[in-house]
Chain A
Amino acid sequence: MNSKYFSVFKVFSKNAMAYRAEIALDATFYMLSSLVMVIVWMAVYHFSALTSINGVTISSMTIYLFVIGSIGFLSWPGIANALESDMRSGEIASSLIRPIKYPYAIFIRDIPENLIFSLAGTLPIFIIIYVIAGLHLTAMQVLMLAIEMVLAYLIINFIGFIIGSLAIYITDIYGILSGITWMFSLLGGGIMPLLLYPKLLYGILMLTPFPFLYFVPGGTFTGMIPAAQLPGLVAEGAIWALVLLGIAVVVWKRVSRDINAVGV
């Protein structure tokens, strides 16, 4: 990594470490939120005397809900907030004349916080669930899961970058971001596995980028998605990431011209 970008990474890693108690608290609340839905679904399975609903057993449902809770940090594009903040404060103008490319720098600023959350929050929860539930993932599944998590990060943050760039025109993007994250949760399996949705809707949603945030990682971990389908899904996720990257580049080129023109 280029030393100047590494320097940015080091500075923001230190900043992120200062909030480790907050990260632990966030992870706890994500889990508590999942616990509510676990109780609801346990009551549903129990009352209906069902062992499986559309191929989803009570144990895989429980694991799924905790897993998507533990990757909840991926559901919010921090990059969008950073972009909006820089645009509002005018910081972006000075950032553009620094000897680093602003779009790269903003990603490098965001990565440490997510990395720390992944290592201090998600990973221990994954290990605990793995041990308690007695899961057996192959090396290939673990590798696919890791790639899916990276893809999920890229997809949500490329979208975040596109929306964040629009802050130059609409100033406050927080509402739009919140709406989009709700949409991702609803259409991506953030509420329940997509397997429970009507088959036609499930088929359509699997062609969109939405499931890569929740259903694909959650389905891989629980085994709801057969191992044979994982390489294809990863390839699809990579294509979505590239498409969104392309859109982000085009949007940034357009927006950066306006930043100069406006002189923010």
Chain B
Amino acid sequence: MLDSISRNLKMYNASQKVLWKDIAIYRTQFIVWIFVFMMSTVASVVTITIIYDVSSGVAGWSYYQVLVISSLANIMIGIVFYNISPQRLARTMRNGQLDQRILKPYNPIVTMLSLYGTKTSVGSVISGALVFGYAAYMAGISAIALFEMLLIFALGVVSLTMFLLMITLLSYVLFNSAGYMQWVANIASRAAQYPLTIYGLPGILLFTVGLPIGLAAFYPSALIFGKIGPESVMLVIAIEAFMIAVYYYACKWLTKKYRSGGG
């Protein structure tokens, strides 16, 4: 078990090194893309700033608190896209190239996550982290609170990554097409920028267990601002762990069902 984890981690790291060397050759393009991904954070900040400038904002949430949610959402989506791009994965499955990559003894899921992401989405992570740092400072978040929310955030990111991989594989298995899952992810990232409470109970349920975008942005923020108690935190962590396990086994099953387009 430990050997397997270690072997897969080594493969993941080696893949990242190769991909980053590739990026280094096309530095200018990479820098342009970093700025493009940063634009989504800028758009979020502008929208939230104007909302709070012209109104009282969103019930129960101050300007800096919403900025914290929004920036966590940008960091989350940056990490998720870094590991999985539905468009790229679908294209690779269709042209048969994925077959050459799924080789034992490596875990096929780790292989997919290591090779078919959008590396330039680190722009979203960087800009999200900058806004988060500023908003957290202005909102007076303590270092201990930040530490407390790390686990719930990390598990939320993993569950969303696995979910996106699962629906991409499922869509490909069913329809031989999965590029539109990029749209789903984009819309989800937009919805994750705001407190889930504005979507009502159906929205809270949908974005917690259906399309789990709230796990890495809303709940960590709710925890650090004291809007949910320890019991709720434990429940969220349990949901996250359960969903990761379910999505992981669903991905493994779907990988066996997958048939390439044959090139």
A-side residues, CB < 8 A to B, are: 25-26, 29, 32-33, 36-37, 39-40, 43-48, 50, 53-54, 170, 172, 175-176, 178-179, 182-183, 185-186, 191-192, 196-198
Cα-based distance from A45 to B51 in the complex (angstroms) = 10
Interface SS of chain A: helix, strand, loop or mixed?
A: helix
Whole-angstrom distance from the CB of A73 to the nearest CB of chain B?
13
Cα-based distance from A191 to B45 in the complex (angstroms) = 12
**In the complex, which residues 34-85 of chain B have their Cβ closer than 8 Å to any Cβ of chain A?**
35-36, 39-40, 42-43, 46-47, 50-51, 53-59
Complex interface: chain B residues within 8 A of A170 (CB): 28
Total of A-B residue pairs, C-beta within 8 Å:
80
Cα-based distance from A172 to B36 in the complex (angstroms) = 14
Contact (Cβ within 8 A) A191 B47: yes
Whole-angstrom distance from the CB of B212 to the nearest CB of chain A?
16
B-side residues, CB < 8 A to A, are: 26, 28-29, 32-33, 35-36, 39-40, 42-43, 46-47, 50-51, 53-59, 120, 180, 183-184, 186-187, 190-191, 194, 198-199, 203
Complex interface: chain A residues within 8 A of B29 (CB): 172, 175
Cα-based distance from A36 to B195 in the complex (angstroms) = 12
Contact (Cβ within 8 A) A186 B39: yes
Please judge, given known A-B contacts A175-B32, A183-B39, whether A33 and B198 are in contact too, CB under 8 Å.
no
Contact (Cβ within 8 A) B59 A47: yes
* Chain A residue nearest to B44 in the complex (CB): A191
Contact (Cβ within 8 A) A192 B50: yes
Contact (Cβ within 8 A) B183 A50: no
Cα-based distance from A201 to B58 in the complex (angstroms) = 24
Contact (Cβ within 8 A) A37 B190: yes
Whole-angstrom distance from the CB of A124 to the nearest CB of chain B?
20
Please judge, given known A-B contacts A47-B57, A192-B50, A196-B50, whether A178 and B191 are in contact too, CB under 8 Å.
no
Cα-based distance from A192 to B186 in the complex (angstroms) = 18
Complex interface: chain A residues within 8 A of B55 (CB): 44-45, 47-48, 50, 53
Cα-based distance from A26 to B182 in the complex (angstroms) = 11
Please judge, given known A-B contacts A175-B32, A182-B39, A186-B39, whether A43 and B58 are in contact too, CB under 8 Å.
yes
Please judge, given known A-B contacts A179-B35, A182-B43, A196-B50, whether A44 and B58 are in contact too, CB under 8 Å.
yes
A selection of 15 A-B contacts at a CB cut-off of 8 Å is A29-B183, A33-B190, A40-B51, A45-B55, A53-B55, A175-B29, A175-B33, A175-B36, A178-B36, A179-B35, A182-B36, A182-B43, A183-B39, A186-B42, A196-B50
Q: Which of B39, B54, B57, B183 contacts A54 (CB 8 A)?
A: B54
* Chain A residue nearest to B52 in the complex (CB): A44
Q: 3 smallest A-B Cβ distances: which pairs?
A: A175-B32, A43-B198, A182-B39
